[in-house]
Structure 1
């Protein structure tokens, strides 16, 4: 599947953004673990220091008593046991606060408190024995004191080991994230660099391509403007030519008609029958030529609309006027014509009048000789999508009116449905039906100029149906219409 340049850039930036987010998360985890590790290390150091102070105070008190025992120097008893006890209690309470979140450390502190109490009582007893003189149980007391001290050292060491194990766990977790963090940062940086380089190259190419396209578009616009100017000039020249040519052609025709009339009036009795017949055929040819020239003039001017000529047309009133103009031929054919209520449609009223007059006149011309002519005019308002128009999506929601003109005339073969809208195309000979083959071509030109569509369906000896699709609101633009989807 081919991806556009913009899609590739979007995917690239999404990948880069995802990698950067993941790297940021890892960076946050590494930083958090680093801070936790530092906090745990500080915690362990504080616990170790306070435990060290407690054991040091106990050992110093025990050593002071022994020093006093050996030297009888009272300076060894300063500070007193009470002061030492107060310092130990202070450090103990701080340890309680520091290790409040650890149940196992709290249990060790409970054990340490009991041991310190026993040890304090032993020290007090030893102090009394020193004042009272040597005692027979001195050796037993010394051994008991050493045993308690060993238990205190053991408890303190267990607490220190717990702190060290927690520091070790934090360090292992930090090392784990650090091991992932470095590759992640490297990969994210590499991906970001690659995407940045790719995006720069791609965008540069895109900008150059856009500049090239803009230059081409400007060139095409200049060429198109020149062609439009030339086309407008050509159309004006063609219009002038058609107007001049029609007048220039009309003059010889008038002379031929005048001379033939004089010839018939002046020499009618002297002309043989063959000559009279030739003059009659010449007069008929001149009449057909005059009709053809007039129809060509009408065709050249048909469908030319400008914004100023676009108004909201009351189609009911217009259809009534068309039927009124065709009152005599409708009566001659004993025709019955009905039409439902029509909506208002923006357009050129003169062109619309000519359009529907030609379509109804066409139905009158090709009426079936064996039955009464019936003409039905129906309409439907819907969106372009609902009508099945193969138009661009910008106009599929616009409102359109589909008008059908159905008759029960002689009809035609569906194989000629496209041909009948071409200029000078006739399905019947001049001797059978009059006309120049321009009427339906004028209808198509009018519908096209109103950004609509016209089609025909026929069945020989049964009738024909002409369908006209017109937008309710006109936009004076050169928009291309395609045929509706046929189903």
Structure 2
């Protein structure tokens, strides 16, 4: 998926998520307020019911006493005042519990408690048989206390109704906000969902198209690879056959020229003898060129069965032993560090080191003793700039072969690895210009890298980077 599309979809989902969170928060506030309002309503109803029960019980008690005073019929006193007082006390304690969080209501209940105590005393006096008539008549004065109780009850009910009204107003406010918020958030979420669906559908179709193209390209690439492999095989076969067939006429030319020099050298004029010498040199160079061309065609062939663990330190000692005479001629000194064990083709690695060291010997500076320093580092792929990300966790060895020879201009660092490319004339330094091309081919075939750094008249450094394990 393309990055701009990913950013748009992420932004859309972030907005939709934010809208849903905001809507959920408002819904929570509305629901909480609704539950609080319902709780407040239930409490107000409960308080009102119990207050009404208290008032009713008191009025029933007064009515019973009046009936008893008028008729002296004790049936009016059933249930008795003590039982009525207990019922009122139960309602009072329930009110205490219900209004525990409201200080004003608690104050009203304290006052109501005192009034109820006075009223209880009056009711008990009026219910006694031995109460003098004058005292019984004084019970009617309890109506004043009853009025005060009713006023206190009305005050308490007014407080409950005021709080209920306040909660109802807050609920209406949240309800008025909640409906448009839910509508807008739902609309935004639907629009974002539609946009995301359209975008994802378009991206999915694009991915299908890309996958179809990639499959087509892969088929074409497979065919091209097959054709390229076939062409390479044919070219290698042609190079091998052509080089092999060219050696036969060269041998004849070399044989005939040797016979001419032995048999007729004294009879040839000086110019003819000189031409014959030049022909012999050209034949010798041609033979070396064909031999190097064959070596190049064979270099870098790393079949899976030929890959094995190679001790580069031991291999380097073998190469130095082969080049011992050349090193002695240059009075060279070689300082070599310990090299690791690397997976690869031993023959190819030997050819690689032999070509690089022979190159250092060939281009030794005439005015100073040749010194070759070989160092090695083990590094992770992420520590090497040229390694791709998929191999950052693999271990690589970085081998540096440094000499103090004539060096070269850094501008030619890439050119020297091309086949038949030379920086010096044949008359100055021998060679065919294939040695370093063979080195690059060997390193490439082992999933590695080779770089050259030149310093004119100071020396050169060749850096080889090889993985310790060959990736299948």
SS in 2 for 1:259: helix
- Structure 2 vs 1, CA of residues 379 and 367 (structure 1 numbering), >3 Å: closer, same or farther? same
Aligned to 2:41: 41
* Residues in 2 aligned to 1:282 and 1:10: alpha-carbon distance in whole angstroms: 77
* Residues in 1 aligned to 2:357 and 2:18: alpha-carbon distance in whole angstroms: 70
- Contact 1:410 1:462 (8 Å CA) reproduced: yes
Aligned to 1:326: 323
RMSD between aligned residues = 2.8
- 1:402 maps onto 2:388 in alignment: no
- Contact 1:424 1:438 (8 Å CA) reproduced: yes
- Contact 1:452 1:471 (8 Å CA) reproduced: yes
Aligned to 1:457: 453
How far has the Cα of 1:454 moved from its partner? 2.1
How far has the Cα of 1:319 moved from its partner? 0.8
- Structure 2 vs 1, CA of residues 276 and 83 (structure 1 numbering), >3 Å: closer, same or farther? same
* Residues in 2 aligned to 1:206 and 1:362: alpha-carbon distance in whole angstroms: 56
Aligned to 2:258: 261
Aligned pairs for 1:98-113 within 5 A: 98-100=95-97, 101=100, 102-113=102-113
What CA deviation, in whole Å up to 9, does each residue of 1:145-180 have, x standing for no partner?
332222122111112112212222322332233233
- 1:79 maps onto 2:79 in alignment: no
What CA deviation, in whole Å up to 9, does each residue of 1:62-121 have, x standing for no partner?
44555676xx5566x643176355235313322322332144334333333433343344
* Residues in 1 aligned to 2:367 and 2:296: alpha-carbon distance in whole angstroms: 33
- 1:153 maps onto 2:134 in alignment: no
SS in 1 for 2:76: coil
- Structure 2 vs 1, CA of residues 186 and 271 (structure 1 numbering), >3 Å: closer, same or farther? same
- 1:345 maps onto 2:342 in alignment: yes
Please, what TM-score do these two structures have when normalized by structure 2?
A: 0.89
- Structure 2 vs 1, CA of residues 410 and 34 (structure 1 numbering), >3 Å: closer, same or farther? closer
- Contact 1:30 1:174 (8 Å CA) reproduced: yes
What CA deviation, in whole Å up to 9, does each residue of 1:275-317 have, x standing for no partner?
2222222222111111111111111221221222222211111
Q: Single out whichever of 393-402 and 58-67 deviates more from structure 2.
A: 58-67
- Structure 2 vs 1, CA of residues 61 and 475 (structure 1 numbering), >3 Å: closer, same or farther? closer
Please, what TM-score do these two structures have when normalized by structure 1?
A: 0.87
How far has the Cα of 1:468 moved from its partner? 1.9
Aligned to 1:19: 19
* Residues in 2 aligned to 1:127 and 1:364: alpha-carbon distance in whole angstroms: 138
Structure 1, unpaired ranges of 5+: 477-487
* Residues in 2 aligned to 1:380 and 1:439: alpha-carbon distance in whole angstroms: 25
Aligned to 1:272: 269
How far has the Cα of 1:356 moved from its partner? 0.9
- Contact 2:81 2:123 (8 Å CA) reproduced: no
* Residues in 2 aligned to 1:130 and 1:461: alpha-carbon distance in whole angstroms: 143
* Residues in 1 aligned to 2:335 and 2:118: alpha-carbon distance in whole angstroms: 124
- Contact 1:96 1:109 (8 Å CA) reproduced: no
SS in 2 for 1:461: coil
Q: Count how many residue pairs are aligned between Structure 1 and Structure 2.
A: 468
SS in 2 for 1:456: strand
Aligned to 1:479: none
* Residues in 2 aligned to 1:110 and 1:81: alpha-carbon distance in whole angstroms: 29
Aligned pairs for 1:281-296 within 5 A: 281-296=278-293
Aligned pairs for 1:21-420 within 5 A: 21-63=21-63, 66=66, 72-73=70-71, 78-80=75-77, 83=80, 86-100=83-97, 101=100, 102-123=102-123, 142=140, 144-386=141-383, 388-420=384-416
Aligned to 1:442: 438
SS in 1 for 2:430: coil
- Structure 2 vs 1, CA of residues 150 and 130 (structure 1 numbering), >3 Å: closer, same or farther? farther
- Contact 2:379 2:395 (8 Å CA) reproduced: yes
- Structure 2 vs 1, CA of residues 57 and 264 (structure 1 numbering), >3 Å: closer, same or farther? closer
- Structure 2 vs 1, CA of residues 395 and 74 (structure 1 numbering), >3 Å: closer, same or farther? same
Structure 2, unpaired ranges of 5+: none
* Residues in 2 aligned to 1:125 and 1:245: alpha-carbon distance in whole angstroms: 143
* Residues in 1 aligned to 2:214 and 2:41: alpha-carbon distance in whole angstroms: 71
How far has the Cα of 1:407 moved from its partner? 2.4
- Structure 2 vs 1, CA of residues 130 and 474 (structure 1 numbering), >3 Å: closer, same or farther? same
* Residues in 1 aligned to 2:239 and 2:326: alpha-carbon distance in whole angstroms: 30
SS in 1 for 2:367: coil
What CA deviation, in whole Å up to 9, does each residue of 1:238-268 have, x standing for no partner?
0111111112222222232233333334433
- Structure 2 vs 1, CA of residues 403 and 112 (structure 1 numbering), >3 Å: closer, same or farther? closer
- Structure 2 vs 1, CA of residues 95 and 36 (structure 1 numbering), >3 Å: closer, same or farther? farther
- Contact 1:54 1:88 (8 Å CA) reproduced: no
- Structure 2 vs 1, CA of residues 401 and 59 (structure 1 numbering), >3 Å: closer, same or farther? closer
